[in-house]
Structure 1
Amino acid sequence: MNRPPHGPYQQPPRQGWPPHPPQPPAKSKAPLVIGILAGVLVLGAAGVAGVLYLGSHGDSGSEKRADRLPAACGNVSEAALAKARTTNPNGRGSSERKLAGGTRTTCAWSQTKGVDGSGLRNTEVIVFQDNENAGDEFERIVAQNMANTQGTPQQKPLDGLGDQATAVLVESKSAFTEMSVVVRADDNVVEVDISGWDAGFFGNDRPDVAELEAAARGLAEEMIAKL
């Protein structure tokens, strides 16, 4: 009887059954790492964008003050001030002085928090009453506005407002913009200055010029009508 040679017992493989099933190749972790990094970058960018947006759209107004302004400042209505987006009276920026040639009154307003929106606006109305040289004063104020070095002043006449009326627009290299309307009616001269900028998506934008002009003209009309 023939016997197999001595040695460890070996069982022949079963047909159709490989002794060790093939192992799947190891998956690379690179896509997962890249995905995590991309997510972090997106969240970081979104966070920065959110901070910039909230910063530019923050309410720049202050709580409503009860400052008393000179009597002549009451010639303009709350509605006209709301159109200029400056309903907060600024007593520190307002004054009244008797001059040799009449009376000079300065009225100032800023933004009210929660009322006048984002961006920045400031309004100043200067009134020269009973000025013997009102014509010369009008020309002096217009020339002073045209000499503004913060930008390139542009002047245009305004019809239907007092005896003489001119608007001067100054746009700076930044978003800061100033609109001045100067009016003479008899021996009174009124200068209305509205300045500021609008909130853009991530920064400041220039205000709409037509909006500024309409607001400044409205204040000038009300002031002149009651002098």
Structure 2
Amino acid sequence: MHQPPQGYGQGPGQGPPPGQGGQPGYGQQPGYGPPPGYGAPGGPGYGPPPGYGPPMPGYEQPPKKKKTGLIVGLIVGGVVLLGLGIPGGIFASEYYSSVGKAPVSEQPPTECKVSPEALNKTVTNSFQGTRENEIKAGDIVTKQVGCSWSAPDGDNVHDRTLQVMVYRHEGTDAQERAAKSSVGSAAPSERQQQVQGIGEKAVLVSLDTDSAFSGAELRFTQGVYVVLVTYKGWDKGFFTNSPIPPAESAEAAKSVGAELAKNLPR
């Protein structure tokens, strides 16, 4: 039912998320049974009024109405209700299925160190692992460390991820190369805003779309480092998914970015 939104790649340790762009999760429908008053066919007996004896000769009682139509109606009604109950069970199973993941056993490296308090606020406190890479071009070296977190296992609403990418420039003119790195993005300029107080240069980029997919990305430079903090996803609902409130996404990205900037070597 869930399909990943178009145009967004996978982050470190994170597979393609289900959701809108995809279809919503579903909640549990109330149980279906026969409506009140539907019991055995027929109702209270209706005999002849008091004081009336047997019919006169030649006047037989009219044949009793057959209950076949009522029985068939009840059967058809039961089949319809059963048919409605099956999708309801499927929707309930989908809605109550976890969108979170159990944490991996390893701990985040120093470059990705984020406090439990900040992670709890983002509802992504289940660490999903680290990815490292190194790019060399002569004396120019760039090392990459990527970390990701998801909602905890058992959370069936907050289909969100937090991803951190830390680039460390080494070799000739490392700090100058980091300072010249672009912290903008391909997003329209109205979706970007300068942020003060985080690193030496920081930009917050809105990832909100016309679907439920939403989020924010903070990009900043500090010393020989270039850091990207991406917070994205949606909240699963009964019939439709809901985007993360923009203010919540922005605050999550900025709070995590501020901690990373404080912990990075200067």
The structural deviation recorded for 1:88 is 2.4
Q: Partner of 1:143 in structure 2?
A: 185
Q: Partner of 2:124 in structure 1?
A: 86
TM-score by length of 1: 0.72
The structural deviation recorded for 1:126 is 1.6
State which of 127, 133, 157 in structure 1 corresponds to 2:177.
133
Q: Which structure 2 residues correspond to residues 7-156 of structure 1 after superposition, within 5 A?
A: 18-19=56-57, 20-23=59-62, 25-74=64-113, 76-91=114-129, 93-95=130-132, 97=134, 100=140, 103-114=143-154, 116-129=155-168, 131-137=175-181, 139=182, 141-144=183-186, 146=187, 154-156=191-193
Instruction: Answer yes or no: is 1:194 the counterpart of 2:234.
Output: no
Q: Alpha-carbon deviations, 1:1-54, whole Å to 9, x = none?
A: xxxxxxxxxxxxxx9961255235414533443343233323322331231233
The structural deviation recorded for 1:105 is 2.6
The one-letter amino acid of 1:69's match is P
CA contact (8 A) 2:179 2:222 kept: no
**Following the alignment from structure 2 to structure 1, what is the Cα–Cα distance between the partners of residues 77 and 192?**
53
The one-letter amino acid of 1:125's match is V
- 1:157/1:54 CA distance change after superposition, 3 Å: farther
- Where does structure 2 lack aligned partners over 5 or more consecutive residues? 1-52, 170-174
Instruction: Answer yes or no: is 1:175 the counterpart of 2:212.
Output: yes
CA contact (8 A) 1:69 1:94 kept: no
The one-letter amino acid of 2:120's match is A
The structural deviation recorded for 1:200 is 1.2
- 1:29/1:101 CA distance change after superposition, 3 Å: same
Aligned residue pairs, count: 203
RMSD: 3.2
Of all paired residues, the percent bearing the same amino acid is 27
**Following the alignment from structure 2 to structure 1, what is the Cα–Cα distance between the partners of residues 54 and 162?**
93
SS at match of 1:89: strand
Q: Alpha-carbon deviations, 1:127-146, whole Å to 9, x = none?
A: 23463233421x2x4225x2
**Structure (1 or 2) with the larger CA radius of gyration:** 1
SS at match of 1:171: coil
Q: Partner of 2:20 in structure 1?
A: none
**Following the alignment from structure 1 to structure 2, what is the Cα–Cα distance between the partners of residues 119 and 73?**
22
CA contact (8 A) 2:192 2:203 kept: yes
SS at match of 1:132: helix
CA contact (8 A) 1:180 1:193 kept: yes
TM-score by length of 2: 0.63
CA contact (8 A) 1:198 1:205 kept: yes
**Following the alignment from structure 2 to structure 1, what is the Cα–Cα distance between the partners of residues 55 and 168?**
111
**Following the alignment from structure 2 to structure 1, what is the Cα–Cα distance between the partners of residues 156 and 250?**
18
Q: Which protein is richer in helix relative to its size?
A: 1
SS at match of 2:259: helix
Q: Partner of 2:27 in structure 1?
A: none
**Following the alignment from structure 1 to structure 2, what is the Cα–Cα distance between the partners of residues 98 and 78?**
31
Q: Partner of 1:205 in structure 2?
A: 242
- 1:153/1:29 CA distance change after superposition, 3 Å: farther
